[in-house]
Structure 1
Amino acid sequence: MQVVDPHVHFWNLDTHHYPWLAQPGVSFVGDARALRFNYLPADLLHDAGDIDVLKVVHVEANHDPADPVEETRWLQGLADSGGAHAFPDAIVAAADLSAPNAQAVLEAHAAFPNTRGIRQILNVHADPLYNYVGRHYMRDPAWRGHFALLARHGLSFDLQLYPSQMEEAAALASEHPDVPLILDHTGMFVDRNSVDGYRAWRDGLRALAACPNVTVKISGLAMFDHDWTIESLRPYVLETIDAFGAERAMFASNFPVDRQFGSYTDLWRAFARIVSGASDDEKTALFRGNAERIYRI
């Protein structure tokens, strides 16, 4: 089975600082203490087993916010190290678009050949357990002004938020049709125990899907479903593909975060089972082609 994995995290605790791993805690995502180890391309390939990982997109791993460009510099070094699997093929870098130096940070990231986009986590939730940032960045004039600079540098934006924020994100996408947005982790359907929560996720997906510059990664489902099975994942996978179409969705692993809840091989085989009835062209798009096209790799 061949895949292009568009959502992977690498880290080296011996050489770099990751605050969330320096003082790991327990949250809905799992026990970060279980992730306090180095994770490098060789470790991903070991986890992959007989899954043939052709290319990898690295998404920022909450590296030291005082020096986000250092993470990109390090990752580019890994990519330039040579060999058949000199990952990552693309880098989604970190930047605080509300910061006064955001323009300089974007320019520094864009100078590296494998940089393709930016992620700044936007998740806000009334429940402190789920509240990542406690601030509505999309409503900040400085943040929005710097967001507009992404097009100048040919950068996409990885969109990590909750369903309650999707309408606002759809408006942002419509205002910036020249910025590709990639919705992370299937829209992070956190309020899944109520009818209103389901509607917010379903309707939010469709609001974003109505914007032609938005695509989606089907990933991160295990963060909300620690004991997942093929059948427990199936409705979320199929609903997402129904909203975006097979031409604008892609499967991703979110490793090693999701390794807490299952193996790499089991996850990809679950995806394959769920879409076993799709056409060969649709499968190629979901597992490889869309990631290559969207991240230009």
Structure 2
Amino acid sequence: MREAAPAGSYLPPTERRHERSDEEILDPDLEIIDAHHHLYDRPGARYLLDEYAGDVALGHRIVGSVYIEIMAMARTWGPEHLRSIGEIEFANGIAAMAATGFYGDCDVAAAIVGYADLRRGHAVGEVLDEAIARAPERFRGIRQITLEYDDPAMSAYISNPPPRGILDHPDLVAGLRELGRRGLVYDANAFHHRLSDFSRLADEVPETVFALNHTGFPLLIGLSEDQRREEIAAWRRDLRELASRPNVVCKVGGLGQVFLGFGFDSRPVPPTSRELASAWEPFVVEAIDAFGADRCMMMSNFPVDGRSCGFVPYWNALKYIVRGASREEKEQLFQLTAERVYRIDRPSRS
């Protein structure tokens, strides 16, 4: 059994895979907004600006990024419902450091997605307004993880899981409406068997943009081949249904997590980008076909997906999968959708 995650975490300790020295950068001039990554400092798991900037420096042209909450750097004082503001302040400070250019040309955390308990309904507006006040140029949305599962073995991968029933809470819709009133995004994170709940909620709150995490997060670990086929069919059906909602966009990536059952995290030799592309292509292609390039954005989910592969082969795999797309489609996938959804206005640097 894998070791448990640090207290307060939804993730196991990060075990980075070494980069493959034989990988050249595909399409090196393609500008990328990394639509989803994390930064944190925990016992045995450090990934801060230096580490992310080091990954960016490996060669892919990452020009900006979206910081996503991971229950890190919360305040230890003040009202409980406002303590998550600490993480937004932390991310905003990281962004200010990156904006100096000292760490490279990437605008790290150009947009910030924080945490708030949307079950507070209309009262969550206090948290949102405080977040806007603390990071007015960068705060762009809220993620409240809603991972639910029945297999107790999953506790080896998710320590301190979120409470069950969030997606069914009677005040959730009111909380989502508070996001829409402020032009903020709801980052939707649940395993694929709850995709129909996101369709229901997107219908109830059409004024709020939903950004679906991790390609709809197929939960496929530990399944037989027949079970795997059944679950992929269910994921595909519900993803297509969700894509019919115009206020939903899809983040394509996060496929290096253990939950998909590819086993790259346990291999003695890290995979090449072509191996990753072979495994990931059906999921990437399905998502893009369902949503369209103008409603999809590529994400790294680093350092979490670093358990399966290095940063260079990760992005090479995504680029290789869409090698047949037009230049305009690639620009939508890798940059423009994220800029539009998260309202990123990158300053020119002299």
Shift of 1:260: 1.5
Counterpart in 1 of 2:232?
Answer: 198
> Which residue is equivalent to 1:30?
none
- Please tell me whether the aligned partners of residues 8 and 254 of structure 1 are also in contact (alpha carbons under 8 angstroms): yes
Deviation of 1:83 after TM superposition, in Å, equals: 1.6
From 20, 42, 49, give the equivalent of 2:50.
42
Say yes or no: does 1:186 pair with 2:215. Answer: yes
Of 146, 157, 160, the match for 2:175: 146
- Paired residue for 1:54, among 63, 68, 75? 63
Q: Secondary structure at the match of 1:289?
A: helix
| 1:7-49 Cα shifts (integer Å, max 9, x gaps) | 01112x3xxxxxxx45xxxxxxxxxx5xx12x22231121120
Report the residue type matching 2:164 in the other structure: R
Gaps of at least 5 residues in structure 2 are 1-27, 156-160, 265-274, 345-350
SS for the counterpart of 1:168 is: helix
Distance 1:268 1:237 in 2: 13
Residue identity matched to 1:146: G
- In 2, Cα distance between equivalents of 1:226 and 1:285: 30
- The amino acid that maps onto 1:69 is I
Residues 73-118 of structure 1 deviation map (CA, whole Å, 9 limit, x = unaligned): 1211222234234521000011111248633212211222210010
Secondary structure, aligned partner of 1:98 = helix
The answer on 1:98 being equivalent to 2:119 is yes
Q: CA deviation at 1:281?
A: 0.6
* Cα distance, 1:174 vs structure 2: 1.1
Number of aligned residue pairs: 276
Match of 1:83 among 71, 81, 100: 100
| CA distance in 2 between partners of 1:145 and 1:177 (Å) | 12
Is the radius of gyration larger for structure 1 or structure 2? 2
Match among 167, 182, 193 for residue 164 of structure 1: 193
Partner of residue 239 from structure 1, selected from 286, 297, 303: 286
With over 3 angstroms needed to count, the CA separation of the structure-2 counterparts of 1:206 and 1:281, relative to structure 1, is same
Worse-superposed segment, 128-137 or 270-279: 128-137
- Residue aligning to 1:10: 39
Q: Is residue 63–residue 107 contact of structure 2 (8 Å, CA) maintained in 1?
A: no
Q: Secondary structure at the match of 1:221?
A: coil
1:266 to 313, 328, 339: 313
2:184 pairs with one of 155, 170, 187: 155
- Please point out which of 199, 203, 211 is paired with 1:174: 203
- TM-score, normalisation: structure 1: 0.87
SS of 1:240's partner is helix
Q: Which runs of at least 4 in structure 1 moved beyond 4 Å after TM superposition?
A: none
Q: Which residue matches 1:283?
A: 330
Q: Which runs of 5+ in 1 are unaligned?
A: 14-20, 23-32
Instruction: Tell me whether 1:294 sits opposite 2:310 in the alignment.
Output: no
The separation in 2 between residues aligned to 1:265 and 1:149, in whole angstroms, is: 38
Q: What percentage of aligned pairs have identical amino acids?
A: 33
